[in-house]
Every structure is written in C-alpha cells, then in structure tokens.
Structure 1
Amino acid sequence: MTGLGLADPARENALLVGIIDAISAGPELELLAARVADLIVAATSTDVCFVHVLDDTDRSLTLAGATPPFDSQVGRVRLQLGEGVAGWTASRREPVVIVANKDDDPRYRYFPQLRGEDYTSLVSVPMASRPGGLAGVLNVHTHARREFTERDVRLLTSIGTLLAGAIHQARTHRRLAARERAHERFTEQVIAAQEAERQRLAADIHDGITQRLVSLRFHLNAASDALADPGPDGTGFAATQLNRARELADLTLDETRAAISGLRPPVLDDLGLADSLTSLARSIPGLDVVLDVDQCELPEHAEIAIYRIAQEALQNVLKHAGTRDAGLSLHHAGNDVVLQVSDAGCGFDRNGRSSGGDPAAGGYGMTSMAERAELIGGRLEVESRPGAGTRVIARVPRESPR
C-alpha cells in the first residue's frame, strides 16, 4: 500500500479544518494533542499517532497525545533530544521515514509500553514554527508496510507547523496559569509566614532579650546599691554584679544579632553577594563546596532571594544527596545572573518530582526556591537522575522587578 490516502483535496481540506477546529477549542495541551492524533489517524489511514511535546526545559520530549490504546501512556513516556527517532527528529528538525526493519536503524529506540514490534512503517516530522521554534514531534505508524511519499511528508510537516503555534500558545497559557497559581500560593504562604515570624520574634524578644534585660537591670541596680552604701564586702559584691551584667549584655547582643540575621542576612551588607555565598558555603559543616563565583550586581531584594536559594539548595545537598561534595557557581550569562548548586550524589527521579507546583511532589524546599526565583522575574531549573546527581539552576535578570 502506498500513500496516506489523501489524494482527494477535499479530504485533505477536511483534515486541516478539523485540526483548526481542535486548535480553536481551547488552550488545554493534552486535549488538543489527543484530538489531533485521532484526526490524523482517521484521515491518513494510519494505525497510531503520537504527539511528543517539547518540555519547558527544552531538553526532552513528553508524550502529550496518542490514539488508543496508547492514550494511557500520555505523560509517562519521556525521551531526551537525540534519543530515539522522535528525539533525532527534534534535535535535527528533519523528517524521518522508515518503511521497514526499523530495528536496524541506529536512530530507533524500543519503548516496551509503545509496542513498537507491532508496527512496521513510520513517519516522524518536527512540529516547528518560525517565530516560536521547535514545539515537538509528530509520529504516525502503520501495522503493514507503507511507502510514504514526499507529499505525505509535506502534508504531515504542514500539520506539524500548524500545531506548533497552538502548542506554543498552550504552553504559554499553562505557564501563566501556573505562575498565577504559584503567586496565589506564595501570597498565602507569605502572610502565614509573616504572622509566624511575628509570633516567633515576639516570643524570642519576650523570652530571651526582654528577660535578659530585666536581669541586667537587676544586677546593675544591685551593683549601684552596693556602691552607694558599701558594706564590708560592698566593692567585691558590686564587681560581681557588674561582671554578670556584662555577660548578660553580651548574650543579649548575640540574641539580637541572631534575630536580625533571621530577617536579613547581615553578611550581604558587609561582604556583598559573591563573598556572602562564599561565606555561606564554608559555614555549612559536613560539606566540601567547590566555589566559582563572580561579583554580580543585583537589586537588594534579588540578592536576598539568590542567597536564600543557595542556602536551601546546599541544605538539600547535606540532607538528601548522600555526598559531602558540592559545587556552587555565580556568573553573568547575557542579561541574566545564574546561580548553580550541584552535587554528584544519589539524585532523584524528575518524572515523579518537580521544582514547582505541588509541594508533596517536589518538596517544599524546591517549591520555595522556585517561587523565590519567580518573584524576582527569574526561573528555577532542576536537573536530576537517580545515581547521576542534581543541579539546581536559578536564572534571574540583572534588573529584576520588585
């Protein structure tokens, strides 16, 4: 059998109109991919269609839509750019046609859940648009051998171009919705944190600083009374009270500094961001941190956010990575300042955890770091695989919004 069965221009137009209708239905990416996959299979007399969409990291593809029975695998199949036929198509942005014997093709990778042994021929085309760039890859497969023509490939490529714009729009909509939800959650967390911090500070001041000041006043009054009406041992008693008062004053000063440090790291005022990160890395017991930091000028509130992200990321290495060795770098990259904290520890499965969104999925620390980066106009990227370590990358603009 040859061709996709679209020699009739009316049938081809009906397919394109159906795709446009699917695109117009709404910005839900998975729903769009599922509807388009069904339309393509029905119109082209192929047996299965897969829609692989480029992730937000721009480094991997995720199965976003598929015809039954593979619709259950949506969101579960992921591959890196360059991996498998779809990954090769994405990295080269060139179509691939395999008529038979795909196991002999070095670009092919077998996915057990997609049952590649049941299909003989395939076409893989990039979904890309000129303004938005690569959006993903469109694959069709047939059970029987099929001689796909150049016209077939051009048609599927045109469909891919049409879908690319819709996918870019859906991704933008999803990012904006996620950012709005994150800001709502973060606002709630900020309010709760402010109240908790006020209570903590009030308790610290009442139970610590205030009580020490009361004791300090008692000892000073005792020393004053002894000096005003010295008895046989008045001078010695006064000296003892003054020594205790001095000790209390030192403790009170330490507690006051600790309270101030909890609100804003004073080391930022004293040393600047780069040296503050160096001091932070060297102050964490149990970690050997290789440093590579440049002096990077940022607004004050952005420096605090970067410092807290680094602090949380290093604590995560200490608590979860299973290694003493870590790296911390801070550099300019175009119009951004990039902080990176890395380790060669145990890593984790990124498919089951994320850097933002559900705290249970990625841990509150990951969520907190992502939201800190977003609030200053930046973004957080987390790269990790089991046994391959973890990299936390925060990118923030040099002129971040307040």
Structure 2
Amino acid sequence: MTERQRPPGCSTPGGAELLDRIRHWVTREAELPTVLDRVAAALTDTLAADGCLVFRVTDDGDLLLTTVHPTPQHHTQTTERPGPGEHGLRIPRGFGVTGRVAADAHPAVLVDDHPRNARHRELMGLQPGEPVSRLCAPARIPGGTTVAVLAVFSRRRRAFTRAEVDTAQAVADLVALRVHLSAQATAIDGYRDLRTTAVATTVTMQEAERRRIAGDLHDGVTQALASLSFRLSAAKAAVHAGDIDDAARQVDAARSLADLAFGETRSAITGLRSPILDDLGLAAGLASLARNVPNLPIQVDAQDLCLPEHVGTSLFRVAQEAVHNIVRHAHASRAVIRLAKHGRTAMLTVTDDGRGFEPSGQALRPDGTPHGLRGMAERARLLGGELRVRSRPQEGTTIEVRIPDVL
C-alpha cells in the first residue's frame, strides 16, 4: 500500500492493524463497555503510553469518566466492572483540557500537564507535583458533535507526534459511531417503555372515565328518568280520574325532572368534550370548567395561548382532573386556575386551600398513585413536559404542569 493509499492513522506503526481491530469491535461486540475497555487498552499499547481514560459526554454537556486503562488497583480484586460514574470523576462542561477538547471538537496535546483534580491524578498514577503528557482526541459523530473524549497519558515526558494524533483521532471517530448508536438505542428503549406505559395509562384512564360517566348517568339521568316515568303515570291516572289539578301538579313535577335529566346529560357530554374548548380555546374552556363546579368558587387567570390542539386538550384534562380531585378530596373553600407562558413554555397551575397531603415519593409512583396524579403526570410526559406537586397537610395543594417548546 502506498503512502497516498493509507487510511488516516496508518502512518503510526501498528495503526492500520489497530483500526481493523477497532472496526471489528465496534461492529461485532454487543457490549459498549467491553468495546471501550478494548479500545483504551489497544490505543495505549499502540502509542506506547501508560494508559487511557475514556469520558462520555452527558446530556448536560459534562464529561463522565466511564473507562480506565489500566484498571485501578481497587477494582482488580473483583470481577464486577465499575458502572458509569463509579470512577468518581466528572468534569464540568468546557472545564480543563478535556472539557475544551469536547467543546471545540479538536484534538489537543500537552507535554507538561498538571491536572488539578486529585481524583484525575490518582487514576493516572501521578505523584504530587508530577507532570504528565497527554493526548486528548474528541470522538465526533457526523456533524461535528462530540460524544466522548479519549485521553491517552504518558508519565514519561513526550510530545505526541502528528501521526500519533491522527491515529488517536481516527480511533476516536470510530468509537463515536458506536457510542452514538448505543445512546440512540437507549433512547429508543426509553421511548418504547414510555409508549407502553402511556398505552396502559390511557386504557386505565378510559376505563375510569367510562365508570365515572356510567355512575353519573345512573345516579343522575337514570334516576331522573325513572321519577319522570312515575310522574307521567301519575298524571295519566289523574286525568282518567278527572283530577285536573293533580294532573297539572304531576306534569309540572315531570317537567322539572326532564330539565334535571337534560342538565345531567349535558354535564356528562361536557365531561367528554367541551364545546367551548373547541370553539373558543383553552382559556375559555377553563373558565367554563370553573363556572360549572358547584359549591366551590374557582378563580381563573388564563392567558389566550396559541397552543396545538392536542396540547390544549391535554392541559384541559389535567385541569379537569385536578378540579375533580379538589371537589372529592380537598374540602377546599376556594381554588385558582392559572394558565400562562414563560418564553416558549406553557404553564398550568391549579391551587386550592384544602386539607392537602404529604407529597411523598408514593404520590407519583406508577403503582397505587393517589388523587389521579399518575394520569396527569403521564399526560405531561407524553408532551415532553413535567408535573410538579406542592402540598402539605392542612396547607392546600398546587398542581403545576410545564410543557416546553410549544409557543
């Protein structure tokens, strides 16, 4: 192979063989930690260095040490691999040489480096005041985003050559593809779990809503219709008996029962879908919700927000469930519904002055969640938002939902 035909990294002795091995590990090895362990060891050997640290870039941009070669002494006595973060080294975003390499996506060589982090120095086996030579290469995915940093170190003073930098960078960019693939697979699994939970929660909520509607119809409409039938029968009997006054009284009572049945039916239909929400939007829908709650004054402070229909519907359902909980559980004398925006975030809060509760970890657990919080939390999660609960016994409750990036 001529010099022009050599792939990047092959100018280092053993570079071509190293890249072939890493391509094999990246594409064939099932476990990412195993890939990183092998890469760190092989890169250390190829560059005749003392070791290699591999940092993963977290979602918030910090660097978390996930792989150390050679393995620290206290881990050699066990067969268990240290988990992410168990090495005890996290570098803030953009901090130090490693952080800058991650941020700038360019490799860096330091001949006489003095890392300030005590744990960092310990993992490289440095004595107090002892310098170290380092080569840090960013693991970049297409587009230039850094997903990891490979940091080779040598306790013997040396200036890593351009060829060695090229080798390390070629290795790092191969590793980046596997790290990125692993992160995407984890995200897919998370979305799959979220979908499964959402489907289960939706079915549960549907069944609960059907039971509620059935109960409302039985307690309200069915009873009213039964009484209406009785009154009409009594009116018919009065007519046959020639008692016009009694027949009139029975008809009046029947008419009142018909009005009651109509009101109960309309209330049930509104519970399924608010016409005002469709016609006038979320703010008006919340005001209508508050007006139709008996025996509980509810103040509404709602901005007219231009929200996607599914977001508005979900926030309305959260408010509806929160108000339902207040009526059933809180023994409150008043409540407040607020809808506002903060930047591109929509925020809904429902507050009451009722008896409150202790919002322990059980309040939002998937199993046995009280007060309907699970359904509200799932609605928020499906929209990429979050549900917060603030409550103390005898001090009321606040339900807050934040949906980002919808305005």
- Calculate the TM-score normalised by the size of structure 2: 0.61
Residue of structure 2 in register with 1:217 after alignment: 229
| Alignment partners' CA distance in 1, 2:120 and 2:300 | 41
CA distance in 2 between counterparts of 1:161 and 1:170 reads 14
Is the alpha carbon distance of 1:235 and 1:327 closer, same or farther for their aligned partners in structure 2, counting shifts above 3 Å?
closer
- SS of the residue corresponding to residue 161 of structure 1 reads helix
1:60 aligned counterpart, secondary structure: coil
Q: Please, which of 132, 144, 147 is the counterpart of residue 136 of structure 1?
A: 147
| 1:251-300 deviation digits (Å, cap 9, x = unpaired) | 4444434433443344321313565478789999999998665434x4x5
Give the distance between the partners of 1:32 and 1:364, measured in 2 at CA.
39
* CA distance in structure 2 between the partners assigned to 1:135 and 1:359 by the alignment: 36
Corresponding position of 2:278: 269
Contact 2:135–2:153 (CA under 8 A) maintained in structure 1: no
Name the counterpart of 1:159.
171
Partner of 1:213: helix, strand, or coil? helix
Contact persistence 2:107–2:165 (CA under 8 A): yes
- 1:20-62 CA distances to partner (integer Å, 9 max, x unpaired)? 122102575555444434443454433341231343xxx3346
Question: 1:381–1:394: 8 Å Cα contact kept in structure 2?
Answer: yes
Q: Deviations over 1:327-362 (max 9, x none)?
A: 74398xxxxxx653389xxxxxxxx9xx9xx957x9
Structure 1: give runs of 5+ residues left out of the alignment: 1-5, 104-109, 316-323, 332-337, 344-351, 374-379, 385-389
1:102 aligns with 2:108: no
- Alpha-carbon distance in structure 1 between the residues aligned to 2:214 and 2:387: 40
Q: 1:170 aligned to 2:185?
A: no
Compared CA separation, residues 163 and 143, structure 1 to 2 (3 A):
closer
Task: Give CA deviations for 1:72-97 in whole Å, capped at 9, x if unaligned.
Answer: 25056766643565444333334455
Q: How far apart are 1:138 and its partner, in Å?
A: 0.9
Give the number of equivalent residue pairs.
Answer: 341
Report SS of the residue matched to 1:23: helix
Structure 2 CA distance for partners of 1:91 and 1:100, relative to 1, 3 Å: closer
Q: Residue 259 of structure 1 is aligned with which of 265, 268, 284?
A: 268
Please say if residues 62 and 91 of structure 2, whose CA atoms lie closer than 8 Å, have aligned partners that are also in contact.
Answer: yes
The answer to whether the Cα contact below 8 Å between 2:380 and 2:386 also exists between their aligned partners in 1 is no
The answer (yes or no) to whether the contact 1:312–1:369 under 8 Å persists in 2 is no
Name the Cα RMSD after superposition: 5.1
* Residue 372 of structure 1 pairs with residue 382 of structure 2: yes
Query: Which residue of structure 1 lines up, in the alignment, with residue 82 of structure 2?
Result: 72
1:16 CA drift (Å): 1.9
Q: Which runs of 5+ in 2 are unaligned?
A: 1-8, 76-80, 325-335, 350-360, 389-399
CA deviation vs aligned residue, 1:178-209 (integer Å, no higher than 9, x gap): 33343344334444444444344334323432
Q: Distance in 2 between matches of 1:309 and 1:49?
A: 47
**Residues 34 and 65 of structure 1 are in contact (CA less than 8 Å); yes or no, is this contact kept in structure 2?**
no
Corresponding residue for residue 23 of structure 1: 26
Distance change in 2, residues 1:165/1:280 (3 Å)? farther
1:268 partner letter: L
CA contact (8 A) 2:302 2:337 kept: no
Match of 1:335 in 2: none
8 Å contact kept, 2:102–2:149: no
Quote the residue 1:11 is aligned against: 14
Asked if the contact 1:33/1:64 (under 8 Å) is kept, the reply is no
8 Å contact from structure 1 (residues 124, 138) kept in 2: yes
Equivalence map 1:2-401=2 (5 Å): 9-25=12-28, 29-44=32-47, 45-55=49-59, 59-61=60-62, 63=64, 65-67=66-68, 68-69=71-72, 72-74=82-84, 81-83=93-95, 85-97=97-109, 99-103=112-116, 110=117, 119=126, 121=132, 122-131=134-143, 133-140=144-151, 142=153, 144=155, 146-149=157-160, 151=162, 152-223=164-235, 225-226=237-238, 229=241, 235=245, 238-239=248-249, 245=254, 248-273=257-282, 276=285, 294-296=305-307, 298=308, 303-305=312-314, 307-308=316-317, 328-329=340-341, 339-341=345-347, 359=366, 364=374, 368-369=378-379, 372-373=382-383, 380=384, 392-394=402-404
TM-score normalised by length of structure 1: 0.61
Amino acid at match of 2:103: S
Instruction: Give the counterpart letter for 1:368 in structure 2.
Output: E
Q: 1:282 to 1:196 in 2, by over 3 A?
A: closer
CA distance in 1, matches of 2:272, 2:95: 47
Equivalent position amino acid for 1:101 in 2? H
Distance 1:63 1:54 in 2: 7
Counterpart code for 2:279: D
Residues 315 and 348, structure 2, Cα contact 8 Å, conserved in 1:
no
Q: What's the offset of the Cα at 1:136?
A: 1.6
